Chain A
Amino acid sequence: MGDEREPELERAALASHSHGWRLYRRFFVLLLFTALAVAGFFISVMLGSVEIPLEEIWQAIFSGASGVHEQIIMNIRLPRTIVAALVGINLALSGAILQAIMKNPLADPHIIGISSGAGLTGILVMLVFPGYEYLVTPAAFVGAMGAAVCIYALAWKNGIRPVRIILAGVAVSAFLGAGISALMIFYSDRVHGALMWMVGGLAARSWPHVAIIYPYTILGVLLAFLGARQLNILQLGDEIAKGLGLRVELTRIVMTAIAAMLAASSVSVVGLLGFVGLIVPHAARLILGSDYRFLLPGAAILGAAVVMLSDTFARTAFAPTELPVGILMAVLGAPFFLFLLRREL
């Protein structure tokens, strides 16, 4: 017996060492993500058809000089970069929340009908009422929220079960997708703009778009972080969560609404940008673990970094042709996702 105690003590010592290390590691990773996001921000503002040195960016933002470079920064690059960052935050948070409440690793904003709902109403405005382009964003937002509510109502039967939401989501998305296809065929002469929007891109996004999206980001980030502890408990399963005193149905409804709001606001601004909401939370979970107090900020920061960097790459790699960032995300995202799947399953 005495012989057995010693290795056990040693293991305990090792374990407590690794505990501190784990905590530090998480903070370190968060710091690393932040550094990546900051780097992404400056790279995104610097690079483009005209390369602008770092000092001038500094001057443009903080001292308000007014040369050509400053004009480019203040009117084109800076707002576009900010939109990219906010969209990244929103979609990544939305995906991270949905993965916890659906207990499904494939859950992303598409599942609760955000894309199909926003797609149908957004494209309806674009194709049928081409004179009202400014209505695309609010229409897409209404469509996204409408589809989310619809799926929720259809999945409700003495409470919500994740599997029912996912199945209802697939059905509603297919239904709305038929509408999108029909519109594209009936108005095939006008589909170019609609196609760009369906892929998702940041071309010509500026301050008005920042103004649309930032209140949702602030509100969404705040509410999501407040719910981190609840999401942690929900990951243990409904039974355990109820036993611990969590109001499971209420939590699920509120968190779905937050996720829908976050995703709807981004989709209405940049179109149906896929993969961020699926991949970024997965990557963050793989690196940071499943504790939502770390996972949520991690996913948000990583999301901002990924979208800013991808957009920079998308608009500079094949200059002067600008690639919609959605295409790039899918091209890079799909293989990465497969890599994650093979690693995990």
Chain B
Amino acid sequence: MALATKNLSICLENKLILQRVSLTFTPGRRTAIIGPNGAGKSTLLRALASLNMHYEGQVLLDGLDVRKISRKKLARRLAILPQGMTAPPDITVGALVDYGRFPYRSWVHASDAKADREAVEWALECTHLREFKHRQVRSLSGGECQRAWIAMALAQQPEILLLDEPTTYLDIGHQLEVMNIIEELNRSGKMTIIMVLHDINHALQYADEIVVIKDHGIFAQGTPQDILTVDMLATVFGVKADIFVNTQGAAVLSPVSLAGDRAVR
């Protein structure tokens, strides 16, 4: 069960975003995609999830071109959480999560009501939202709302979960809460996680594989220890950083100032 791209090139509005990107995402791992603004991280993620199909090259799922898989079948194996979602404010968390069962329903086949119910309960359980099932979406805080959307994606019972900056706009407590949920899904559920992250330290702490995107292609790919270095931050982000070890014995990167060309005013 592997997701991969082969010579993936994407142009948006006549502007080259990604050029001949070939990548394989190891099943059962947590991969973080990082890179500067506008490098094409979200574009890559959207192509991986077939939200944008205007590309050259291929996106492969188990070696099969995703364009040959029906959208609903794909949605049962792969779920994506894009950025900036809006739901009708009056629907309940339970109803929202239940929408995640859409790929299992059709006009011809009545869906398995028991399986639907169990999937929704499981999704709520994973995201600690059991008590929120009957609450309206409008009454949720930012962190609860993000968890509700994650629960909806989980109700799809995907093997692969794609997340676009899942912690944006959340305070540090809710950020860790969301990251811990994602980690747990991967640990106990063996779910493959592919996430675009802004916070380098989240990538260090929560990913076991890093992909760095820069200048329309892959700048580097490997383990956090190999990739997330002071040199990389200087080259890719133009930032001079310190690295130190925290009380837990983990490495932490701390940006200190702009580096190289960007430091010159």
Which A residues are within 8 Å of any B CB, using their own CB?
8, 11-12, 15-16, 18-19, 22, 158, 226, 229, 232-233, 235-237, 239-240, 242-247, 289-291
Q: How far is the CA of A243 from the CA of B178 in the complex (A)?
A: 20
B111 to chain A, nearest CB (A): 11
Q: Are B87 and A236 in contact (CB under 8 A)?
A: yes
A-B pairs with CB below 8 Å: how many? 79
Q: How far is the CA of A235 from the CA of B103 in the complex (A)?
A: 16
Whether A237 touches B71, Cβ cut-off 8 Å, given contacts A244-B156, A289-B90, is no
Interface centre among A22, A244, A246 (most CB of B within 10 A): A244
Q: Are A243 and B79 in contact (CB under 8 A)?
A: yes
Asked if B7 is at the interface of the complex by the 8 Å CB criterion, the answer is no
Q: How far is the CA of A242 from the CA of B66 in the complex (A)?
A: 14
Which B residues are within 8 Å of any A CB, using their own CB?
46, 49-51, 54, 70-76, 79-82, 85-88, 90-92, 94-95, 99-100, 102-103, 105, 107, 130-135, 152-153, 156
Nearest chain-A residue to B50 (Cβ)?
A242
Q: Are A19 and B71 in contact (CB under 8 A)?
A: no
Q: Which residues of B have CB within 8 Å of A18?
A: 134
A248 to chain B, nearest CB (A): 9
Q: Are A237 and B85 in contact (CB under 8 A)?
A: yes
Q: Are B92 and A240 in contact (CB under 8 A)?
A: no
Residue contacts A-B, CB under 8 angstroms, 18 given: A8-B131, A12-B131, A15-B131, A15-B134, A19-B92, A232-B99, A233-B102, A237-B86, A239-B82, A240-B85, A243-B51, A243-B81, A244-B100, A245-B70, A245-B72, A245-B76, A290-B90, A290-B91
Partner of A291 from the list B71, B81, B91 (CB cut-off 8 Å) is B91
Q: Are B51 and A239 in contact (CB under 8 A)?
A: yes
Q: How far is the CA of A14 from the CA of B59 in the complex (A)?
A: 47
Partner of B71 from the list A15, A247, A290 (CB cut-off 8 Å) is A247
Nearest chain-A residue to B53 (Cβ)?
A242
Q: Are A244 and B74 in contact (CB under 8 A)?
A: no
Partner of B82 from the list A158, A243, A247 (CB cut-off 8 Å) is A243
Nearest chain-A residue to B102 (Cβ)?
A244
Which 9 A-B residue pairings sit nearest by Cβ, starting from the closest? Answer: A245-B75, A290-B88, A245-B72, A15-B134, A245-B103, A245-B71, A239-B82, A19-B134, A243-B80
B70 to chain A, nearest CB (A): 8
Q: Which label, helix, strand, loop or mixed, suits the secondary structure of the A interface? A: helix
A95 to chain B, nearest CB (A): 16
Q: How far is the CA of A232 from the CA of B50 in the complex (A)?
A: 21
Q: How far is the CA of A8 from the CA of B86 in the complex (A)?
A: 27
Q: How far is the CA of A239 from the CA of B94 in the complex (A)?
A: 20
B72 to chain A, nearest CB (A): 4
Partner of A235 from the list B51, B88, B131 (CB cut-off 8 Å) is B88
Q: Which residues of B have CB within 8 Å of A290?
A: 88, 90-91
Q: Which residues of B have CB within 8 Å of A242?
A: 49-51, 71
Q: How far is the CA of A242 from the CA of B75 in the complex (A)?
A: 9
Q: How far is the CA of A207 from the CA of B100 in the complex (A)?
A: 46
B126 to chain A, nearest CB (A): 17
Q: Are B85 and A246 in contact (CB under 8 A)?
A: no
Q: How far is the CA of A16 from the CA of B94 in the complex (A)?
A: 11
Q: Which residues of B have CB within 8 Å of A226?
A: 107
Q: Which residues of A have CB within 8 Å of B103?
A: 244-245
Whether A245 touches B99, Cβ cut-off 8 Å, given contacts A158-B54, A226-B107, is no
B169 to chain A, nearest CB (A): 17
Q: How far is the CA of A158 from the CA of B135 in the complex (A)?
A: 38
Q: Are A233 and B92 in contact (CB under 8 A)?
A: no
Interface centre among A16, A240, A289 (most CB of B within 10 A): A240
